Amino acid sequence: MSATWVIALILVATSVNVVADTNDLGVNWGTLTSHPIDPKIVVQLLNDNGFKKVKLFDSDPRMVAFLAGTGIEVMLGIPNDQLEFLSIDYEYAKEWVQENCTSHLRHGGVNIKYVAVGNEPFLTSYKGRFTKTAFPAMKNIQRALNEEGVGKKIKAVMPLNADVYESRSDKPSDGVFRSDIRDLMNKIVRFLKDNNSPFVVNIYPFLSLYLNSDFPSDFAFFDGGYAIQDKNVQYTNVFEANFDTLVYALKNAGTPNLSIIVGEIGWPTDGHKSANKGNAKKFYDGLFRVLASDKGTPLRPGEIEVYLFGLFDEDTKSIEPGKFERHWGIFDFDGKPKFAMDMSGNGAHKELVGAKGVNYLPKQWCVLASYATDQNLIDDRTSWACSKSDCTALQDGASCSSLEPKRKTSYAFNSYYQMNDQHEEACDFEGLGMIVNQNPSTNSCKFSTQIEVDGATRLSFAYGAIASLVSSVTLFNLL
């Protein structure tokens, strides 16, 4: 196996928790969507499906408040754009902890377990933007938690992409932290050890297939068919090889026994030829079998704590990494389960319980008018609609890629129309659009109607963006 493959299988990893018979299975609740489901409904969905843990990407007070009294273990999130302020102003870190942690810890309150400081801040694509601020911010948050008297219960952690470690060969046993951040990572893992905090890593076997056309597809799943030999250990799937590469990196950093949480793992269902429901189900079925066995990995036997990624599809998420980025949910955008899941790992394929109380906009769609003939204008408006909405299902190999050109235009028009709450002017397109009452969906391609969103929910989900803006303005004034 070449070193190139190793980079793909070991380094690659890129917004809660699904639980069956184990308390160590969690799920990520991301909110990068144009039409978020009411948090009250989402919390009910978590309870209905037995989810015991949830990982958030911010600390929206309305979302967090609905988790009070549920017993669900919560990992709060702090976005990367707040790291600089938290790193230089300890008083701000104290205020953050008081407002977002201790204020929820009354009797019958929220079961906060972790604060995730940043999200994959050392990605190589960030080119070092957060390397000077992420660790000081995490130290300030942990210090504030300690001073508030909750530091033994709530730990500051830092979810990291698997690209923070690497192998100098094609073997997990050569695992070390990435050379450009090795000194920093050594300090971070020692800090985590001293505070009895876990190392949180995001691992994505799907990306191994996506980034390397020569990658052996069997190795991305859990059914065998391909293996690598490392000394006396044989690895038959990339997840275990990746995980144990981290174990070796921790050993080489002097923290061999540091606990590990898999903060994100999953498989997308659209936006790429390998991103489909069949592959997603195959991946999850294999993952759940591994988790249910409690065998762990060759270097870390026992239970593995995992947070699935993610809960819902998110139609406004960045597609810079790939068109699949908006399709990681185990539920559709409206809270409908995508497929049966054997979360027990024992062959019990059961439908997840969908979101209850979700209301939809009227059953109407925007399509290309039958009389439209100006092909240049049609192409221009199609491109414009896709730039303002979500056309990732039209990607080559995706669920709607086989539509003929006029239907693809209709898909683009409808995506924009639904994202804009079916406003009549959102189906104009310089006279090319037409509102219809007959569903234009095909067997493989769904033309959706959006859900209704109340004002409170829209305001709540805008909180994170507003908070980030306020932090940036305050930081600018401070500097």
User: Quick check: is 120 catalytic?
Assistant: yes
- How far apart CA 101 and CA 36 sit, in angstroms, is 23
- How far apart CA 19 and CA 15 sit, in angstroms, is 17
Q: Give the distance from CA 9 to its chain's centroid.
A: 19
Residue 449 bridge partners (DSSP): none
Q: Which residues contact 372 (CB under 8 A, 6 or more apart)?
A: 378, 431, 432
Q: Which residues contact 359 (CB under 8 A, 6 or more apart)?
A: 451, 452
Buried b (16+ CB within 10 A) or exposed e, 239-275: bbbbbbbbbbbbbbbebeebebbbbbbbbbbbbbebb
Q: Using alpha carbons, list the distances in angstroms from residue 377 to 384, 408, 434.
A: 10, 14, 15
Buried b (16+ CB within 10 A) or exposed e, 31-61: bbbbbbbbbebbbbbbeebbbbbbbbbbbbe
- Catalytic-labelled residue, pool 120, 166, 314, 325: 120
| Token pair of 319 as six digits | 């597609």
- What number of other Cβ atoms are within 10 A of residue 476's Cβ? 9
User: Quick check: is 148 catalytic?
Assistant: no
- Catalytic-labelled residue, pool 84, 166, 240, 264: 264
- How far apart CA 100 and CA 61 sit, in angstroms, is 7
Beta strands at 233-235 and 228-230: parallel, antiparallel or unpaired: antiparallel
Return the SS3 of 165: strand
Q: Which residues contact 429 (CB under 8 A, 6 or more apart)?
A: 381, 385, 413
- What number of other Cβ atoms are within 10 A of residue 106's Cβ? 9
φ and ψ of 54, to 5 deg: -145, 140
How big is the CA angle at 271 (ends 270 and 274), to the nearest 5 degrees?
Answer: 70
- How far apart CA 34 and CA 51 sit, in angstroms, is 25
φ and ψ of 69, to 5 deg: 80, -5
Q: Which helix (H) or strand (E) holds 376?
A: helix 375-387
Smallest CA-to-CA distance from 5 within 146, 235, 175, 216 is with 216
φ and ψ of 139, to 5 deg: -65, -40
Catalytic site positions: 120, 264
